[in-house]
């Protein structure tokens, strides 16, 4: 059944700059429309929770063809005998709205109004009026801001800014949908929605997090271990929020709980009990992101104690991080040796690295560079400086003309400089850091003085040696902080921006007490990441006073968040696929073994 049926063809750009059109054309229609199918059990579960409060009026801001309305019709009689009198739904697509309208007619005693139009336009007309709904349910569209029409973008910005919230052009359509819906919810009312898991950690969700804490008394996020939407890379969460009652309005922030759930059998339980029994964290104890609420009280306590230690520093106290070289056309400016030889570009070539496959360890040296050359990687950064075209050799001019035939000179970053092939802000740093990581981020000692592009950061130590910084960066404390501060998207890759890197905690050791060569070998030999952390923790975290038990708790906390980021499909689907392919049976024991892997590694290492 479709819980997010909103047809966004009139919200999504039909024309755009060439680079955007190509990107849009590569997306699936479901992704562009923000419409994926939702199991009826999800809609029923959310409805059971809001109906328990006996609402007299319900809003569904993105009703599609009426999936939630049909689920309402299937609820037990006692759940529907709550005095519900009014139902309002919004749907952009007229044909889908007509289906929802027909479904609503089958709800006895309920006056329904299915609005055929953009919910953001509809809600903007009501933001200056009193709230009017006791409950709000739905699954708002997940559509990137860049894909919206100019009018839809303008409406999204107006809704967010109306409440003095931070607006960014990295936002998503679901953000103003949730904020606008909350504004129309009566005090004491309930909101239940399916929203992206990025609610917890991305910067553009900060406005929603702030508004929820400000307007709601309790917020429960149900966080599935599996991906619940077929063909959707990012995970979703179920958001259950109870708006403050009039007498509770004040400066005090609401409370947040995040409950990890495994399998859809959980949805057969009581949403009321789940909401009441969750372990809530005061909003003022949470930073801007909510990932901290995924940790236990004990894990948060250990972090608080470490944060106050004189043996720990924030990254910003030890070093600075800046974006690597922005070329505007990496495939043109980063080339293998074969291209150098074909066009005679050797005089303009400089060593570079910028991807994880370029650096298997934590040291980039002559040996690493030679290996990359042998493998045919683009190890050369082309820096033409400001040499005029007439001063270049014929082969070099031919290469530049090749780039122009591909319209590279028309790209934004290229066309704003003169000449377009002259890359600015070119300098090296003693340490590099790749933007994205699979298990946890690592720094790279740049012994070759190689360049890095904007796929990596340039790190300049200011209170510690480069070697010491690289070595002390690998430990469970810093890895856990990266999970709490960073963000991730489809595929589970962790990404950090400089402001997030600055907040990472690093244990500080006296200079000269490192085993960087040993650490480099462990990475190059592909030692399991958890085993590397255990060994590092004994040396680094043990040296600053953490017991073995506390080290293990940090390791388990990191492992928990890392595994959450690497979401998998549900067990039923995985077992079905395994059976059809003749694979060995997947069972509960596999999951238990994974959960205890870090603890077992710690025990082995301690022996």
What is the predicted pLDDT for the residue at 556?
96
pLDDT score of 579: 38
Helix and strand counts by DSSP (H, E) for the chain: 27, 22
Q: How many CB atoms lie within 10 A of CB 387?
A: 15
Gap between the Cα atoms of 136 and 87, Å rounded: 10
For residue 47, CA distances in Å to 17, 235, 240, 289, 398 come to 42, 21, 11, 28, 65
Tell me the HSE value of 338 on the side-chain side, using a 13 A CA sphere. Answer: 6
pLDDT value of residue 229: 67
Q: 3-class SS at 220?
A: strand
What is the distance between the alpha carbons of residues 236 and 230, in angstroms, rounded to a whole number? 11
Q: What is the pLDDT of residue 606?
A: 43
| Residue 482 φ/ψ, nearest 5 degrees | -65, -40
DSSP at 148: B
Residue 453 per-residue DSSP state: B
Residue with tokens 């910003």: 316
Which of 335, 338, 328 lies closest to 350, judged by CA?
Answer: 335
Q: Give the pLDDT confidence score for residue 231 in this predicted structure.
A: 56
pLDDT of residue 489: 72
Block mean pLDDT (10 aa), the chain, length 607: 43 39 44 56 94 95 90 75 88 92 91 94 95 96 91 96 94 96 97 95 94 97 82 79 82 92 92 97 93 95 95 97 96 96 97 92 96 95 94 96 96 94 96 95 97 96 95 98 90 91 95 87 95 96 96 96 74 37 34 41 43
Question: What is the model's pLDDT at position 18?
Answer: 30
pLDDT of residue 21: 33
Residues 6+ apart with CB under 8 A from 291: 200, 201, 483, 484, 485, 561
How far is the C-alpha of 178 from the C-alpha of 141, rounded, in Å?
10
Residue 445 corresponds to which tokens in the numbers above?
Answer: 């000692």
Can you give the pLDDT at residue 512? 74
Number of C-beta neighbours around residue 260 at 10 A? 13
Q: Where are the beta strands (DSSP E) in 361-514?
A: 363-364, 380-382, 431-434, 436-437, 443-446, 456-461, 487-488, 494-495, 505-507
């Amino acid at each position: 059944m479709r819980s997010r049926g909103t047809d966004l063809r009139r919200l999504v750009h039909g024309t755009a700059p060439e680079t955007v059109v190509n990107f849009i054309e590569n997306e699936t229609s479901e992704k562009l429309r923000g419409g994926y199918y939702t199991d009826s059990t999800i809609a029923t579960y959310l409805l059971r929770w809001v109906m328990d409060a006996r609402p007299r009026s319900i809003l569904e801001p993105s009703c599609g063809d009426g999936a939630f309305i049909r689920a309402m019709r299937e609820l037990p009689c006692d759940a529907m005998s709550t005095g519900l009198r009014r139902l309002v739904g919004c749907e952009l697509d007229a044909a889908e709205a007509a289906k929802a309208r027909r479904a609503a007619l089958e709800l006895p005693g309920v006056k329904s109004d299915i609005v055929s139009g953009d919910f953001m336009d509809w809600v903007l007309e009501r933001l200056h009026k009193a709230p009017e709904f006791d409950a709000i349910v739905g699954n708002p569209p997940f559509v990137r801001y860049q894909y919206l029409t100019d009018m839809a973008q303008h409406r999204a910005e107006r809704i967010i800014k109306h409440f003095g919230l931070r607006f960014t052009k990295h936002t998503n359509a679901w953000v103003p949908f949730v904020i606008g819906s909350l504004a129309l919810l009566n005090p004491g009312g309930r909101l239940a929605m399916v929203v992206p898991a990025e609610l917890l950690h991305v910067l553009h969700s900060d406005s929603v997090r702030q508004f929820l804490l400000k307007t709601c008394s309790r917020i429960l996020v149900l966080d599935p271990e599996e991906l619940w939407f077929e063909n959707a890379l990012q995970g979703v969460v179920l958001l259950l929020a109870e708006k403050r009652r009039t007498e509770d309005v004040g400066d005090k922030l609401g409370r947040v709980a995040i409950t990890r759930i495994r399998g859809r059998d959980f949805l057969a339980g009581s949403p009321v009990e789940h909401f009441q029994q969750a372990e809530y964290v005061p909003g003022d104890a949470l930073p801007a992101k909510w990932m901290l609420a995924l940790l236990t009280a004990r894990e948060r306590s250990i972090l608080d104690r470490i944060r106050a230690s004189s043996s720990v520093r924030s990254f910003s106290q030890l070093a600075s991080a800046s974006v690597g070289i922005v070329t505007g056309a990496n495939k043109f400016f980063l080339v293998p040796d074969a291209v150098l030889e074909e066009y005679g570009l050797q005089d303009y070539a400089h060593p570079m690295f910028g991807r994880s496959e370029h650096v298997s360890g934590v040291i980039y040296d002559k040996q690493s560079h030679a290996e990359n050359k042998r493998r045919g990687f683009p190890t050369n950064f082309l820096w033409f400086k400001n040499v005029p075209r007439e001063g270049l050799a014929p082969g070099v001019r031919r290469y530049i003309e090749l780039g122009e035939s591909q319209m590279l000179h028309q790209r934004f970053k290229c066309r704003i400089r003169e000449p377009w092939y002259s890359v600015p802000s070119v300098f090296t740093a003693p340490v590099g850091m790749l933007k994205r990581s699979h298990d946890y981020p690592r720094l790279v000692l740049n012994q070759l003085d190689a360049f890095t592009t904007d796929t990596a950061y340039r790190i300049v130590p200011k209170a510690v040696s480069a070697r010491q910084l690289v070595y002390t960066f690998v430990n469970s404390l810093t890895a856990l902080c990266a999970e709490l501060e960073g963000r991730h998207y489809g595929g589970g890759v962790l990404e950090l921006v400089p402001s997030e890197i600055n907040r990472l905690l690093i244990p500080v050791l006296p200079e000269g007490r490192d085993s960087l060569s040993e650490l480099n070998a462990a990475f190059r030999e592909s030692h399991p990441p958890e085993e590397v952390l255990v060994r590092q923790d004994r040396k680094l975290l043990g040296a600053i006073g953490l017991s073995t038990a506390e080290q293990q708790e940090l390791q388990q906390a990191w492992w928990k968040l890392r595994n959450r980021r690497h979401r998998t499909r549900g067990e039923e689907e995985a077992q079905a696929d395994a059976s059809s392919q003749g694979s060995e049976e997947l069972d509960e024991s596999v999951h238990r073994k994974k959960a205890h892997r870090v603890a077992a590694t710690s025990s082995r290492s301690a022996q």
